[in-house]
């Protein structure tokens, strides 16, 4: 049954949500503690002020075959053949919606940047998940870019941002 099989495309965002929940909700004990870390798009009105979403890169930033490995003279998909030992980049986006009400602009900016930095640190220090049922596993993670911007008005402190995350995966197909 399909739901009994594991896929790297489920394992990676689940691992991100677990790690970000730990480092943004469970561990902090201050007013920069996130209220929600969710997978996918927010379907309802947000409950809380600091919302972090994990989404697939989608069409603007799709998963890719890794064809340019630094220092190698052949495309990585040619090493070991096209169906064995290929490297891929699985891409995800971390989306921030930070709603701060009362306070001064300097304090709210500092809180937003703490949430952003905690997120980066959580990603850089996370353990790599296990191999899926199809023979694909993540071997490293990197942050490819990101931003954080003040989108509020004079008395409305709303910060939005994104972090683009990519996992380098290896695929060694298994018999399913």
Alpha helices, DSSP H only, in the chain? Answer: 8-21, 105-124
pTM for this one?
Answer: 0.83
Nearest by Cα to 62 from 89, 95, 85, 94: 89
Residues 168/51, Cβ–Cβ less than 8 Å: no
pLDDT tens column, 108-134: 889 899 999 999 999 999 999 889 999
Q: Cα(76)–Cα(79) distance, rounded to whole angstroms?
A: 5
Q: Sign of dihedral through CA atoms 42, 101, 161, 26?
A: negative
Please give the mean pLDDT across all residues of the chain.
Answer: 82
DSSP E strands in 29-135: the ranges are: 36-39, 50-56, 64-65, 86-100
Q: Cα(129)–Cα(12) distance, rounded to whole angstroms?
A: 7
pLDDT tens column, 49-83: 778 888 888 888 888 877 655 544 444 444 444 44
């Amino acid at each position: 049954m399909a739901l009994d099989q594991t896929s790297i495309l489920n394992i990676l965002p689940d691992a991100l949500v677990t790690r970000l929940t730990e480092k943004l909700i469970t561990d902090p004990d201050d007013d920069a503690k996130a209220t929600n870390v969710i997978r996918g798009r927010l379907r309802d009105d947000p409950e809380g002020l600091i919302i972090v979403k994990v989404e697939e890169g989608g069409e603007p930033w799709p998963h890719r075959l890794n064809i340019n490995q630094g220092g190698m003279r052949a495309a990585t998909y040619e090493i070991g053949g096209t169906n064995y030992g290929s490297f891929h980049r699985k891409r995800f986006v971390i989306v921030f919606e930070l709603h701060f009400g009362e306070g001064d602009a300097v304090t709210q900016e500092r809180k937003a940047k703490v949430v952003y930095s905690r997120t980066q640190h959580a990603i850089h220090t996370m353990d790599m998940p296990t191999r899926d049922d199809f023979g694909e596993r993540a071997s490293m993670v990197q942050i490819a870019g990101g931003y954080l911007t003040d989108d509020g008005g004079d008395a409305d402190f709303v910060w939005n941002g994104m972090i683009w995350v990519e996992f380098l995966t290896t695929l060694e197909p298994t018999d399913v």
